[in-house]
Amino acid sequence: MKILAVCRGSAEILPGKKYKTGINKVPVNGPVMVDAQGIVGDAICNGDLHGGAEQAIYIEGALTLDWWAGELGHPVEPGTFGENLVMEGIDNRDIAVGDRFIAGDVVLEVTSTRIPCATFAAKMNDPKFPRRYMKAGRAGAYARVLSDGILEVGQAVDHRPFAGERITMPELMASYGKKLQGTERDRYLSVPLHAELKAFLKG
């Protein structure tokens, strides 16, 4: 497995919006530095909802982007969904919380799934796209950076599935906003979830 694209965004205002966003990611040629906050130089304009140590890197699997290309009827270029990394041979449905992606010195650990928002709808120029994205159940994954380093296109990646409970991106998306109880709540609390989500579940 290897990295097919590394994408970084600048602060821009989307048509019809008044606020700046960094969702417009474009592929980067050459190596980029990754630290605890993600790709150095990547614009994060709404720190309450995006970025931060718990969702420093956003990952899309190439197999999922190929599926979307078929659904949309046109190629889905790297960065289209606001992702930082496109990983070869990955279907988003197979990613689970706690999975690790290791490339050189960089170690990424999956914490949560992408929940589409109004900014994503504006980016796709389709107000109904977030609902379509949710229905598809193929959301990408956010990851924390456990070890800093350099990432670049073509770099080999070792995908190490989490050894404990496997809470996949579709499952996490389906449970979004729900107060889980009993054994299901215990399952979620046993994995290295996004800290805010874990706090929400502990209630």
Q: Which residues contact 129 (CB under 8 A, 6 or more apart)?
A: 116, 120, 121
pLDDT in tens, 75-114: 999 999 999 999 999 999 999 999 999 999 999 999 999 9
- Does 3-202 carry CATH code 2.40.33.20? yes
**Phi, psi at 186, each rounded to 5°:** -65, -40
**CB contact at 8 A, 60 and 92:** yes
Q: For residue 114, give the nearest of 151, 166, 60 by alpha carbon.
A: 60
pTM equals: 0.91
pLDDT in tens, 134-162: 999 999 999 999 999 999 999 999 999 99
In three-state secondary structure terms, 127 is coil
Q: Where are the domains of the chain?
A: 3-202
Report the half-sphere exposure of 80 (CA within 13 A, side-chain side): 17
